[in-house]
Structure 1
Amino acid sequence: MNGLDSLYQELILDHSKHPRGSGLGPEEGRTASSHQHNPMCGDDITLRAHVDDSGEHLLDVTWEGSGCSISQASASMLAALVEEDGGETGLARADVDRLIEGFREALRSRGTIPLDEETYADAAALSGVSKFSARVKCAMLAWVALEDALARA
């Protein structure tokens, strides 16, 4: 394992052990939830998306779940990314859609498309998961939950 792979593995374990955005929080304001289950390995995620009154900006993401370190780290990384990039005004829905689609494309690429660290922050550490098709669903679970929650918002 090279140094970068080791660093990424440590980052995934850190997010798994010290999750960001964990706990669903209150259903104040405009929220939408989605529960996703990965029958392949038993991962569960319930994610709540908090959007502004117009429904056009994602303010934050909270979640709770159980499962493998990849699914839990991915949910944590997603929550941290929304918090960091959204600021007080939140992320525009179009930007969130692009993030989700780019994440999906990279994870389905079997390692040919790496996630950009400038765009995906810690979630870029999940690029290597794309080489293991059985783990792609684990990493995608929270992102699919966000996509579904936003469709309901």
Structure 2
Amino acid sequence: MSDLNELYQSIILDHNRRPKNYGPLEGATTRRHDRNPACGDEIVLELKVENDIIADVRFTSEGCAVSRASASIMTQTVKGKTRAEAERLFTQFHELVTGKLKPTPQEARSLGEMAAFSGVSRFPIRVKCASMAWHSLQSAMRDEAARE
């Protein structure tokens, strides 16, 4: 295993064991509960959007390490971003896990911890695990926009 793959594996395992932004969010403006019927992974994602900015985001989940780590990294990545910025990050992450984006070392650095999922495309069954939280985020943002 390459040093980079070992680093990515350790990032995923760390976020699974000690997820960031885990637990209920008091004062959430949007709440999503989603489930992956293929494997049983579940997530409850809560957002607090203020003036088009994701002021806070938290989640609870049941599922595999890939799913929980992805949710943890996603919450860190989008907190403080506008909905438009979060939508661009969703697109970038989706392209990464589906293999449409093959980041150069410089691009991988700009992706931050999201880059840990660059190898997921080699395991198609895991793409849904990695992207579930991001799809929940996209749906939550659309729910939020529909209420405005």
Structures share fold, TM-score greater than 0.5 = yes
Aligned to 2:41: 43
Aligned residues of 1:71 and 1:139 also touching (Cα < 8 A)? yes
Aligned to 1:11: 11
> 1:45 is paired with a residue of what secondary structure?
strand
Aligned residues of 1:34 and 1:47 also touching (Cα < 8 A)? yes
Q: Report the residue type matching 1:5 in the other structure.
A: N
Q: TM-score, normalised by structure 2?
A: 0.89
> For the structure 1 residues 19 and 108, does the alpha-carbon distance in structure 2 shift closer, same or farther, using more than 3 Å as the test?
same
Give deviations 1:72-93, integer Å, cap 9, x for gaps.
000000112124xx2xxxx121
Q: Report the residue type matching 1:46 in the other structure.
A: V
> 2:118 is paired with a residue of what secondary structure?
helix
Q: Report the residue type matching 1:50 in the other structure.
A: K
Aligned residues of 1:16 and 1:73 also touching (Cα < 8 A)? yes
- Kindly report the root-mean-square deviation, in angstroms, between the aligned alpha carbons of the 2 structures: 1.6
- Counterpart mapping for 1:1-150 below 5 A: 1-27=1-27, 31-52=29-50, 54=51, 56-83=52-79, 86=80, 91-109=81-99, 113-114=102-103, 116-150=107-141
Q: Report the residue type matching 1:114 in the other structure.
A: P
Number of aligned residue pairs: give it.
142
Q: TM-score, normalised by structure 1?
A: 0.86
Aligned residues of 1:21 and 1:62 also touching (Cα < 8 A)? yes
Aligned-partner Cα distance in 1 for 2:124–2:92? 17
Q: Report the residue type matching 1:73 in the other structure.
A: A
Shift of 1:57: 1.3
Could you list the runs of 5+ residues in structure 1 that have no partner in the other structure?
A: none
Percent identity reads: 39
Q: Report the residue type matching 2:103 in the other structure.
A: P
